Amino acid sequence: MTPTLSLFHASRRTTHLRPPRQRLTCNALFVDVGPLPLRDYSRATAQDYFPNCERIVGDPELGDLPLISLSQVACAAHQTVPQISPAPFQRQRFRISLGAVAESISGKLADIVLPESGGTQVRLGSLWENNPAAIVFLRHYG
């Protein structure tokens, strides 16, 4: 079962954690906490924000969740952060993060069916259904 985490955004300019406007299912929690400790941003507990989360351990206030910076999210969304002007940066970054993690890449690929070189049709999701898989996209064959 995929862990269900809710996404929220904490930027270095905000003073409080902001829960998302919508609940999302994603595989990681994306937080950019800036230079301050995460707990300085919130008086809420992690359970207030992540009622459906399977596992919250560690920090009593916010938990030991997988933290990935929003710049990585932007990379995952194929956005170039430096191209975003400073003024709308926070809003833009927030929008990117929501869009980027709404569905994992593997989730987007799972139902695509492609022929194998021998002619067999393969549903991509079947490659990592029961065990992990390394998938390499080549530019071309040969």
Partner 1 sequence: MRDHENEFRALGASLAAIGLGDLNYARLFREESQIAFPLLVDSGRKAYKAAQLKSGNVFHIFRHDNSEARGRAKAAGYRQNRLGKNPFQLGASFVFAPGNRDLLIHLNRTFSDHADPKELLAALR
User: Among residues 21 and 140, whose Cβ is nearest to partner 1?
Assistant: 140
Contacts of 60 (CB under 8 A, 6+ apart): 45
Among 7-15, 16-24, 51-59, 116-124, the segment contacting partner 1 (CB under 8 A): 116-124
Distance CA 95, CA 88 (A): 11
Our finding on whether 82 is near partner 1 (CB under 8 A) is no
Q: Determine the size of the site formed for partner 1 (CB under 8 A).
A: 40
Q: Which of 79, 70, 90 is nearest to 28 (CA)?
A: 70
CB 106 within 8 A of CB 27: no
Residue from 78, 83, 85, 87 binding partner 1 (CB under 8 A): 78
User: Among residues 36 and 122, whose Cβ is nearest to partner 1?
Assistant: 122
Our finding on whether 137 is near partner 1 (CB under 8 A) is yes
Our finding on whether 20 is near partner 1 (CB under 8 A) is no
Distance CA 74, CA 7 (A): 15
Distance CA 90, CA 81 (A): 11
One-letter amino acid of 49: Y
Minimum CB distance to partner 1, residue 10 (Å): 22
Distance CA 16, CA 41 (A): 5
User: Among residues 82 and 86, whose Cβ is nearest to partner 1?
Assistant: 82
Interacting residues with partner 1 (CB under 8 A): 1-2, 27, 75-78, 104-110, 112, 114-119, 122, 124-125, 127-142
